[in-house]
Amino acid sequence: MQERQDALNGPEMVCRWARHPRCVGLARVELRKALAWGLAEIEDTALVVLSELVTNAVRHAHVSPGREIETRFQLAGEDLRIEVHDDADEWPRKHVAAGDSECGRGLVLVSVLADRWGVGERGGSGKAVWALMTVPPQEGDG
C-alpha cells in the first residue's frame, strides 16, 4: 500500500493485488482505512462499488499470470474516486442479466450507486475503471 498527498487533490491510497478472489476482501480493508478521510457516510455504498469493480477485474481480466490489479482511492474535494486498474485491454460493458442469474449485475449496480463511473486507458496496456462518489453535505452545511 502506498499513501500519498496529491498537490491538486486530497490524499491518495494505491494498492496492488494478485488477481485472486481473496483480493476483493483485502481491497475492502484498505478502502475502510481511506474512508477515515471523513467519508464514513458513504462507507457501505463505496464498499459495494469497490467490490463489484475488483470482482470484475478478477473474473474478466484475462491476462498472463503474475499481472496485478491496482486499486486507487483518492479524495478529490468532497468526492471519493475509486479506480481499479488491470492489464486487460477489453473494456467492461453493462449486461442485462437473466432473472435467475447470479452474475451480470455488477456494473448496473455501480451505475446506480456511484454518482458517475467510466473506463479509461492507462499508461501502457490495460484500462482503469473508475467510480466517483460524492459525500452528502452535513445538515447545517452550506
Dist. CA 118–CA 78, nearest whole Å: 19
Phi, psi of 126 (to 5 degrees): 95, -160
pTM of the model: 0.84
DSSP 123: S
Instruction: Give me the tens of pLDDT residue by residue for the chain, a chain 142 residues long.
Output: 665 555 456 889 999 998 889 999 999 999 999 999 889 999 999 999 999 999 999 988 876 776 789 999 999 888 999 999 998 888 877 666 556 555 656 888 899 999 999 999 887 788 999 999 998 876 665 5
Dist. CA 43–CA 94, nearest whole Å: 24
Give all domains of the chain, ordered by start, each with its CATH number.
2-134 (3.30.565.10)
The amino acid occupying position 35 is L
Cell numbers given for 2: 502506498
pLDDT given for residue 47 in this prediction: 97
